[in-house]
Amino acid sequence: MKKNKLITLFLFSLILLIVVSIILILNFNKSNPSLTNNENRTGMFNNDTNSTMGNGQMRSNDTADIIDDSQIQNKLKLPPLLESDQETSTDISYTLTAQAGTTAFKDGPLTETYGYNGSYLGPILRIRKGQNVHLTTVNKLNENTSFHWHGLQIPSNVDGGPHSPIQPNGTATVDFTVMQEAATLWFHPHPEGRTGEQVYNGLAGLIYIEDENSDALDLPKDYGINDFPIIVQDRFFDENNQFNYQDIRNMNGTNGDTLLVNGTIGPYIEVKNERLRLRLVNGSNARNYQFNLSSEENFYQIASDGGFLNEPVQMDTIQLVPGERAEIVVDLSAYKNGDTVQVLDGTAETLSIKIVEEINSEAGSLPKTLNDVSTNFDNISVPDKELTFSGMGNMVAINGKQFDMNRIDLRAKKGITEIWEITNLSDMMSRMIHPFHLHGVQFKVLDRNGEVPPLNEHGWKDTIALYPGETVRIAVEFSKKGIFMYHCHILEHEDNGMMGQILVE
């Protein structure tokens, strides 16, 4: 009899455990919907690309719905083009200061924020291939920070990772030569354990690299006229218009319910009916964006993280994960004075484009050739390195380990191309996109789950989406020696230790 009671108790406990597990999984999937197979992903490709890939509106990192108040209309703020301290035919010098301030985002109290050379976000640094760049970086915050140059191919001692903190009232100099092609890059803090909060408070800015190719291409390039930076972020505002990061921080990625574009709520731009270039930057801590046009028309992607694609790629929607960038061109030639079209994130209005002047000239076609990036997806060898991303919250890890600044996780040789195989381990309780970012290089995506990547991933990348259960192989070649970071660009995951370091010798 006692044995039967024990068996009954055991079975009851087992059933209860299964029921509770199912409830937890359902609740998790409700707030973190993900895809179970590649066929459900749409939008990253056109009809000529591999439809089994896509980039899907996998909003698995999002836990807050965006408030879509289309009644709010504010002219888009434009980051200033930073004036150089000194410039010659070969050298250029800039000064960047991280500082605290207050910013007016909406009616009511000012919001306490961080910014570079201002109260929120930062200016645009313009540099050229072959130029010697000299940066003076100043920390006026009451905490340590660093200046990380996301996407720049520079030596590790000036990369601005967690090894290079600048103390309050401290100053550091950064000197490097630009050795890469035209691209839209960005910069942000990267102090150990504090990146998420400092970016959330406002520390981020853009870098424009130009070269002879970008000069010659017939593309929109009049800043603030037909060429716009679009830094998209999401934020929560409390009843006093404050961010209060520590109160709303989510270990699986902090999200907000209000979209900001260049620090503007409900932004609009006024343009002519010509070709329009938008440099899209996902500057959020964790949210994935799925951009499309309200007109349901196609647009063309012309560049990815590290530079121009070989040719324009026709798209109807594009996803960007945190840290990722894309340049797109929208043809407005068929629009009339007074017409409006919106850039949407799914169904939420991100940017309103208002046509206020008609011009007679035809928009014409985009250049057929933009770049000459070699692509070879055949004969991919056995990977030189294998990385596995796993876990959630404070249990995230790469290859089962969390970040230790005193441990070298990988080693590589300068100038040697390697194949890296990166897997997002998927289980019942961990089904999230992990944006993979690698410092110090621009790499090439070779395949996703053994399939050729879509056309808009045939260029240089420094950040890619790793979907649940997916394996991606990339080709990596470091041109500089030193210690470089690789990590998940969900900033809370990075802060929680989903990061490693590679020594390049």
What does the pLDDT look like over 463-477, one tens digit per residue?
A: 999 999 999 999 999
3-class DSSP state of 321: coil
Q: How far apart are CA 236 and CA 226, in angstroms?
A: 31
Q: For residue 311, give the nearest of 151, 210, 463, 455 by alpha carbon.
A: 455
Read off the pLDDT of residues 76-107 as tens digits, 9 standing for 90 and up.
999 999 999 999 999 999 999 999 999 999 99
The pLDDT tens digits of the residues spanning 275-311 come to 999 999 999 999 999 999 999 999 999 999 999 999 9
* Number of neighbours of residue 77 by Cβ within 10 angstroms: 15
Cα–chain center distance at 180: 19
For the chain, the C-alpha Rg in angstroms (whole number) is 23
What distance in Å separates the CA atoms of residue 361 and residue 504, rounded to the nearest whole number? 52
pTM: 0.89
The predicted pLDDT at position 8 comes to: 56
DSSP 290-316: EEEETT---EEEEEETTEEEEEEEEES
Report pLDDT for 427: 73
CA distance 228 to 75: 13
Specify the range with the lowest mean pLDDT, choosing from 189-193, 298-302, 373-377, 498-502: 373-377
- Sorting pLDDT into bands at 50, 70 and 90, what band is 167? very high
Tell me: pLDDT of 429 over 70: no
What confidence category does residue 431 fall into, taking pLDDT thresholds of 50, 70 and 90?
confident
Residues whose CB is less than 8 angstroms from the CB of residue 305 and which lie 6 or more positions away in sequence, other chains included: 151, 183, 185, 324, 325, 326, 442, 459, 460, 461, 462, 463
Whole-number Å distance between alpha carbons of 180 and 430: 37
Pairing mode, strands 91-103 and 205-210? unpaired
Helices (H) and strands (E) in the chain, counts: 5, 31
pLDDT on residue 364: 72
Q: How far apart are CA 469 and CA 449, in angstroms?
A: 9
Tell me how far the alpha carbon of residue 176 is from its chain's centroid.
24
Intra-chain end-to-end CA distance of the chain, in Å: 70
Contact predicate 457/304, CB 8 Å: yes
Among 432, 417, 419, CA closest to 470:
432
pLDDT digits (tens, 9 = 90+) for 197-237: 999 999 999 999 999 999 999 999 999 999 999 999 999 99
Cα 310 to its chain centre, rounded Å, is: 21
- In contact, 188 and 160? CB cutoff 8 Å: no
- In whole angstroms, give the CA distance from residue 276 to residue 295: 15
* Nearest-angstrom CA–CA distance, 130 and 395: 43
Where residue 388 falls among pLDDT bands split at 50, 70, 90?
Answer: very high
* pLDDT tier for residue 42 given thresholds of 50, 70 and 90: very low
The DSSP secondary structure of 220-243, one letter per residue, reads ---BTTTEEEEEEEEE---TTS--
Task: Note the pLDDT tens digit of each residue in 436-456.
Answer: 999 999 999 999 999 999 999
Residue 12, Ramachandran bin (φ over 0: left; ψ between -120 and 50: alpha; else beta): alpha
Angle at the Cα of 219 (from 218 to 222), degrees rounded to 5? 120
- d(CA 412, CA 503) in angstroms, rounded, equals 6
